[in-house]
Structure formats: C-alpha cells, structure tokens
Chains A and B, each alone.
Chain A
C-alpha cells in the first residue's frame, strides 16, 4: 500500500499531487494492476486534507482509466502506464542533450534554461487542451 505525502508550498493543487504520486508509483512498479489504493479515510487521516480532494483524485484516475472504484470496498488499480524503460528513448535523449548544448552556447544559465523549458512546456500543454 503506497503512502501519500503533500507539499503545501509547491503551488500544485493537492489532488493533482495525489494523482501524480499514483502515476509515479505505477511507473516505478510500486503499484500493480489489482492493487488497492489507500482508503479515503486513511489518506485524510494521514494528511489532514479534505476527503473530497482524495475523491476528486480517484475520480480523475478512474477517468484516465487507471483505477476503478468498487462501492463499499475501495478503489483498485486497473491500468498500467506505458512508461517503458527510459533507455528506450535513446534518440529523444540525444536530441535533448544537443539542444542543451546549444542553449549553453547561446549564453543561457541553468535558471534560464529551466524557465524556458517550463514556459514552453506549459504553453504547449495549453495548446493541446485548447
């Protein structure tokens, strides 16, 4: 059974953090198909957060096809994440390394690189949603 934690200052909504941690656990193999997700009352007892937050996270996971709720019993993992092994993404990794080298040659420091990546990442996501 995995255990959740919350970073109150991360700026990320709590329910998103829970979803993220479930996905991470799936990726790392801590959670497998058929495992039960922690009960709502146990999660809130450990984190002192609103039960609706947990319910929202579990509902979203259900929507993404990763979990399914069985009334009266709990919520169980039903899907897997196609994380694959990072090694399988060799070409992507090399492209990224080349881009990083270019960014450094252009004079960007670490913070600027991260900021550039973050804003481009965000606007790319928003375009996807829109």
Chain B
C-alpha cells in the first residue's frame, strides 16, 4: 500500500518557536490514524501542513503522492475538518450543501442529502444556530460528500458531549467502511481514539515520539515489574520508555521485539492509554530537564 502521508525532516516555525521539528512519518493508506499529544504539541500544525493551509519551513511533506494544497486535483482528494468545525453562520444548511456542490466537481449530492436527512438537520436553519455536534456533523458531511481519498480531522470531537461524540465517530467509521477512506484525526484524549484508530502517532513537544500500527505497538510494549533495581543495572537491549521506582519495586514500560526471559520480571500487557501517557511524560520530561541520565527518563 502506498503511503498516504509521507514526511521527511518536516519542520514548521512560528517566529522563533519551532512548532514541529524533524518529523519523519510514513503513514500507510487504508488506516484510521490517531494523532495524539498534549495541547500545543504541534498536532494542528501537522494537520494544516497536510492539507496545504501551511507551508513547511524545513523538510518535505507529500500527501497522496502530491504537494498539499497545490491545485484542484490535490484539493479534491483531501477533505478537512478544522477544529470547532467553522461554518458560515448566516448561511443555511442547504446553502452549505450548495456550496459543496458548486465548489467540488466530485460532489455526491445523494450522499449529502441522505446524511443530512438521517441527521435530522433542518435544511433552512441558519448554521450559526446549530449546536456543536450538529456543526461537526454538517462539516463531516461536507468533507465526506466530496468523495476524498483522505480525510483529515483536527480534534473533531473535543467539544462534543458523549452522545454527539459517539454518533460522530460512528458516522465517520461508517463512511470509512463505505468509501474505503483513509483518515487522520487528532485528539488530546486517548479514549476517543482507542475505539476507532488502528494506527497511532504520538506527538509531544513538537516531535514525533512513536508511530505505528496499534496492534504492533501493543505487541511490542510491555510493562515489566520486579524487585527494585538500580538504574544502572537494568537489562540490556531494552528500550525503556518510562520507569518508576519505589523502595522495593521497579516498574518499567519497555519497547522490545522479543519477550523478556528474565524470570525476575513479571511481564504484562500495556493499555493504549498507558502507552501514550508514558511517551507523553517521556517527551515532556526531556523538555523540562536537560539531563538525559535522569532517573525517570532513560533511553
């Protein structure tokens, strides 16, 4: 499968601060990709670069084999849903559908009509009076009905109540199943992503910390707990993501391809949320403390 997003040493700067540094990604097609990280980590920047709203300051990015935002062919293949789903407040729902129809040669009017009907949206209602969930659903309709190959969503469910959130994700998954879409969506909550994503990217402090299929990540990360060890005496060949020590016990989250044979360690599975949190604290720790040999953070 060809890569749907391919970046090489991608960087973006706002004045003096680098919002994104040295990103190398190769996201395969046919996945629902979750981009997770704390606020300010660079998620919106990365997604904006992918749809062509921003241009890189360093490195390159290729989406579906083309330059983001360059020309109508590229624009027709990528759909985008920005944070908080902005819509034109004084235009009605029907007007927005007309907007889609007029501005997209590949517009599927039937699909749009069916979705709006199922969502129970009043065609004549001005979009400024829609609820957050309705706005998100309308924006999703607009993005889906132009029949893109890739759908990019920036924190689509962040401000939605649980019911709206569930309905939005369900509709999104249905569209993925029907149209064989690739999706990249960002969130700062892992729980949102766990159900729907099968590929994960963790972005902390403007850098990609880990990226890969969820199955593979869960299979290669383990929680090791055992009697207290000195930091210097940890087993070789293990990449320690995070470590915590009490006076009698050491717990490590490690990344490894092979099972750990040492019987002193008890190995157990890691949940996706714990995995992400470990990478997030590792990334944050690195930024806060310059000493790479600190107890808590070790490579």
Query: When A and B assemble into the complex, do they touch directly, with CB atoms less than 8 Å apart?
Result: yes
A interface vs B, CB < 8 Å? 6, 8, 11, 14, 40-41, 44-54
User: Within the complex, which residue of A8, A47, A54 is in contact with B170, where a contact is CB–CB below 8 Å?
Assistant: A47
Known: A45-B174, A52-B30, A54-B177. 17 other contacts (CB 8 A): A11-B269, A14-B195, A41-B178, A45-B170, A47-B195, A48-B166, A48-B170, A48-B173, A48-B195, A49-B173, A49-B195, A50-B32, A50-B197, A51-B173, A51-B177, A52-B32, A52-B198
- Nearest chain A CB to B21's CB is how many angstroms away? 30
Shortest Cβ distance from A128 into chain B, in angstroms? 18
Given A8-B194, A8-B195, CB of A51 within 8 Å of CB of B176: yes
In this complex, the member of A6, A11, A46, A47 whose beta carbon has the largest number of chain B beta carbons within 10 angstroms is A47
Is there contact, CB below 8 Å, between A50 and B171? no
Question: Which residue from chain A places its CB closest to the CB of B175 in the assembled complex?
Answer: A41
For the residues of A in contact with B, the DSSP-based class is: helix
B196 on interface, CB distance cutoff 8 Å: yes
Complex: A54 Cα to B18 Cα, angstroms: 40
Contact indicator A44/B176 (Cβ below 8 Å): yes
Closest Cβ–Cβ distance, residue A57 to chain B (whole Å) = 13
Complex Cα–Cα for A53 and B197 (A):
10
Contacts of A51 in B (CB 8 A): 173, 176-177
Q: Does B135 contact A (CB under 8 A)?
A: no
A41-B174, A41-B177 known; A48-B169 Cβ under 8 A: yes
Q: Interface residue tally of chain B, by bracket? A: 10 to 19
Nearest B residue to A54 by beta-carbon distance?
Answer: B177
Please indicate which of the listed interface residues B171, B177, B196 has the most CB atoms of chain A within 10 Å of its own CB: B177
Whether B31 contacts A48 by the Cβ 8 Å rule is no
Bound state CA distance, A45 and B174, in angstroms? 5
- In the complex, chain B residues 175-234 whose Cβ is within 8 Å of any chain A Cβ: 176-178, 194-198
- Provide the B275-287 mask, 1 if CB < 8 A to any CB of A, else 0: 0000000000000
A52 to B31, CA, bound (A): 8
